[in-house]
Amino acid sequence: MAFPKASILWVNYNSMNFINIVTDSLKEIANLDYPNYEVIVVDNGSTDGSFAVIRELAERNNFKLIRLNKNLGFTGGNNAGFRARDKDSKYVVLINNDAIPFQNSLEELVELMENEEDVGGAQGIILDFNGLIDRAGMMMDEVLASHPLFRGRSPIGINKPLAITYPSGAFAVYRVKAVLDVWHGKEKLFFDFGFGYFDDNVLGLQLWNHGWKCKFYPVISGKHRQSTSFGKAGPLRAYLSLRNALLLGSMVNSRYKGLIPAFALRDSMPRAFRPISRAISDFLRLRPLLEDYRLDLYKAPVIRLSLEDLIKLMGLRRKFTAEIGRKLSTLLQNTEVTETNLRIGGNLVS
């Protein structure tokens, strides 16, 4: 295989509380077994001392280094990195600062994408730090909940490529041509205002809406420590999750479009009132910016929900989400899957 140029984008913000993982991430990126790549390190204006550690590693390995004046989040940081890429790059690779890639992963993923020219975004198997699966592709349902495939399972025996709604930004490979197509030539990956939780999910739907596919490949590509950037359930995460669910809900044509705000509010309600009120206010302010952006949810593989499913999802979401994940993962591994027709009991992935 010829080795097309790949630009790895790696974003940091105030990471001293997990700096050992951060430094391991950069060291393993430097050791990737791929002969034609560059690394663009973006720091979002860190104030905790982590930038000094990262700068030393970046300079030692001849990585490009960008320091922003303020925190622009996952979306703004990656957009800055995307604009700084070598214009000859055929692929951009997103690797979180809490994700550690395995040595052969980039070569394997690029080779698979080279063989399927209609694939715009892809990922492999991302493990957690216990050796079980953290992410192996993401499936979205009709109320915009995301379901990570195979989470908590051993990777042994998972050997089929699958169409997915979107690849996880923890470690994802995107075709530059596809990204530019989605944005009509604009130099960006994501909406600048998104910050977080309005990024890989939206881009996946955009790719499907522009005739590109998103795929999971059974390549064990790295390991990831989840929820280090935004925490597990803080006010910022509550604010972003609600605001961005409302914004995405305004863009899609789901059968249950009218119920999306109720599910989004339900998930944010236990956390804090102030982030919720701010999220709703900012949603109303930002919504006009999206009037020209419409996404057909059903051009992507999505999980169709029955009314019974909706009732379960509203009441016991965590339990029901786990149930969907188990059923979906089992069926995907044991069925000849087409990209447009897959039943899970009463549910349909289409």
What average pLDDT does the segment 104-118 reach?
98
Backbone angles phi, psi at 31, to 5 degrees: -100, 10
| Average pLDDT value over all residues in the chain | 89
Q: Quick check: 335 pLDDT over 70?
A: no
What is the CB neighbour count within 10 angstroms for residue 248?
A: 23
Give per-residue pLDDT as tens, 308-322: 777 777 665 556 666
What confidence score (pLDDT) does residue 268 get?
Answer: 67
What average pLDDT does the segment 189-195 reach?
95
Task: Please give the Cα distance from 99 to 64 (Å, whole number).
Answer: 19
Q: Quick check: 339 pLDDT over 70?
A: no
Give per-residue pLDDT as tens, 139-149: 999 999 998 99
When comparing pLDDT for 283 and 83, which is higher?
83
Task: Please give the Cα distance from 329 to 308 (Å, whole number).
Answer: 21
Give per-residue pLDDT as tens, 179-189: 999 999 999 99
Q: Which pTM value belongs to this model?
A: 0.89
Enter the CATH code of domain 6-224: 3.90.550.10
pLDDT band of 228, cuts 50, 70, 90: low
What average pLDDT does the segment 278-282 reach?
88
Asked if 174 and 159 count as a contact pair (C-beta separation under 8 A), the reply is no
Domains of the chain: which residue ranges? Answer: 6-224, 235-349
What confidence score (pLDDT) does residue 82 get?
Answer: 99
Task: Please give the Cα distance from 64 to 184 (Å, whole number).
Answer: 26
Strands 99-101 and 6-12: unpaired
Residue 183: helix, strand or coil by DSSP?
coil
Give per-residue pLDDT as tens, 202-226: 999 999 999 999 999 999 999 999 7
Tokens of 259: 């119920």
